[in-house]
């Protein structure tokens, strides 16, 4: 029974991260347009303290003008995307 609960918890974590990652990608597309080489990776710590129940992502891309951009994004399933450049 414990193993089943752990597996369900991990599946829910992965689904939550996938939804939040799509939210960050949509944010980048709406704010910066057609970004090239978009890379969004989940990070456990990032620039914020751990344990705040928000997903943290390291985002790198090249904007429309050809400038490389890099920042950390913070979001959760029901919240907005916050960035720290």
* pLDDT tens digit sequence for 18-61: 999 999 999 999 998 888 999 999 987 766 666 667 788 999 99
Range of the domain at 56: 2-84
Whether the Cβ atoms of residue 35 and residue 63 lie closer than 8 Å to each other:
yes
Phi, psi torsion values for 82, nearest 5 degrees: -115, 140
**What is the Cα–Cα distance from 13 to 37, expressed in whole angstroms?**
26
**Number of folded domains that form the chain:** 1
> Quick one: pLDDT at residue 46?
65
**What is the Cα–Cα distance from 52 to 3, expressed in whole angstroms?**
26
pLDDT digits (tens, 9 = 90+) for 2-19: 999 999 999 998 998 899
For the cut 90, the answer to whether the pLDDT of residue 77 exceeds it is: no
For the cut 70, the answer to whether the pLDDT of residue 70 exceeds it is: yes
Q: Can you tell me which residue has the tokens 């369900």?
A: 8
**What is the Cα–Cα distance from 75 to 40, expressed in whole angstroms?**
13
């Amino acid at each position: 029974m414990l193993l089943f609960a752990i597996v369900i918890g991990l599946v829910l974590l992965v689904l939550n991260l996938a939804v939040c990652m799509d939210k960050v990608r949509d944010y980048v597309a709406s704010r910066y347009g057609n970004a090239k080489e978009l890379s969004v990776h989940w990070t456990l710590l990032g620039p914020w303290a751990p344990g705040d129940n928000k997903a943290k992502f390291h985002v790198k891309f090249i904007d429309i003008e050809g400038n490389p951009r890099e920042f950390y994004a913070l979001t959760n399933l029901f919240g907005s995307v916050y960035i720290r450049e």
